[in-house]
Amino acid sequence: MAGTPYRINYFINIRHLRAKCVCPLFLCVTVVLFILHQYTISSGYFTAMKKCTLPPGETLLPQDHIDNSLDLWSRWDVQTCTSWRAPIMWNEMFEKAIYDQYHVEKDTSVALTVFAVGRYLEVYLKEFLTSAERHFMVGLPVDYYIFTDAPHNVPTVQLAPGRTLRAIPVKRYERWQDISMMRMKAITEAIDNLISTRNQYVFCMDVDQVFVGPFGSEALGDSVALLHAYFYKSSVTEYTYDRNPKSVAYMNDGDYYYHAAVFGGTWQNVRNITESCHRGIKTDKVNDVEALWHDESHLNKYFWLHKPSKVLSPEYLWASEIGFSYEIHVRRMIWAEKHYGVLRD
């Protein structure tokens, strides 16, 4: 073929040219990554995370507890267990099917409580519920308990079989801080009157967030806390604990900073959490004190004194404005866009 030698020379030249281009490009990328690595270490923004100190082959819990199926050493880049041997849940550590089968066999039912008061109902509730139907505890019975000052405005959402929704009337307070703090009392009463007879587990969540990935049965546990996305790499001195000694929520030391937007556990443990936080809030009010971050400050104090049995990583509630973080392999829920100027007026 007349054109064959030309084509061979052409491809040889192209390959040679690509090799010349690729090598400098590889070197450039390597240098940039090295500079970024050095910057993130020196800047302190990406601090080195602790690691699980449990020796390989040793189980977290005695006997055949479901959490012993976790592969704590599948993630070298993050801390996968606490000093008190509670798992910190990250993607790739668990087999979803193992947890789902376990809870189906146990006939597990989950309550999800959420407050939608004032404009929060119209702005956030429908998307919260529709996204929960796609991603929250799929395959398990779920009862939604919507605490609201406008039960007649709760949106209609198509629910999967075995899932229900109930609106619970609550008083609307003038200040959003009071709404936030008084939810602890309302949840305690709902557990006593409704949840304890229907559901083994409870999750309590804020309404201004959206499920974007599977939030499944692996998250269930006796008592469950969530690492705050903004503080999971910070030192204790940077945690925004309430450091006022006059408050019941006062803390000068702690393990982690937990986000009150998500917490849960068995109904018995969640009742202990909400009742204790409500009691602390009431004591502060008598003493004319208000904790720095309201119910979240009291929640952190509770989990400092009563260690959670399971900790959820920031994958379970990520703030997109933080940007890229190499250890976040999947986002299960994200903060919705905040409109505090309007919503908290």
The response to whether 206 counts as a known ligand-binding position is yes
The response to whether 117 counts as a known ligand-binding position is yes
Residue type at 267? W
Bridge partners for 266 per DSSP: 201
The response to whether 296 counts as a known ligand-binding position is yes
Output Rg (C-alpha) for the chain, integer angstroms: 24
- Which residue out of 218, 275, 290, 296 is catalytically annotated? 296
The response to whether 231 counts as a known ligand-binding position is no
The response to whether 240 counts as a known ligand-binding position is yes
Burial class of 145 by CB neighbour count within 10 A (0 to 12, 13 to 18, 19+)? buried
The response to whether 250 counts as a known ligand-binding position is no
What is d(CA 212, CA 278) in angstroms, rounded to the nearest whole number?
31
> Are 79 and 88 spatial neighbours (Cβ–Cβ below 8 Å)?
yes
Task: Provide CB contacts within 8 A for 113, sequence distance 6+.
Answer: 145, 147, 187, 190, 202, 203, 204, 205
The response to whether 207 counts as a known ligand-binding position is yes
The response to whether 208 counts as a known ligand-binding position is yes
> Are 216 and 138 spatial neighbours (Cβ–Cβ below 8 Å)?
yes
The response to whether 190 counts as a known ligand-binding position is no
Structure tokens at 294: 């309201």
What is d(CA 291, CA 189) in angstroms, rounded to the nearest whole number?
23
Closest to 220 (Cα-Cα) out of 106, 64, 83: 106
Q: Is 174 a catalytic residue?
A: no
The response to whether 136 counts as a known ligand-binding position is no
Binding-site residue ranges: 115-117, 120, 206-208, 228, 240, 296
Extract the annotated binding site for UDP-N-acetyl-alpha-D-galactosamine: 115-117, 120, 206-208
Binding-site residue numbers for Mn(2+) are 206, 208
Catalytic residues: 296
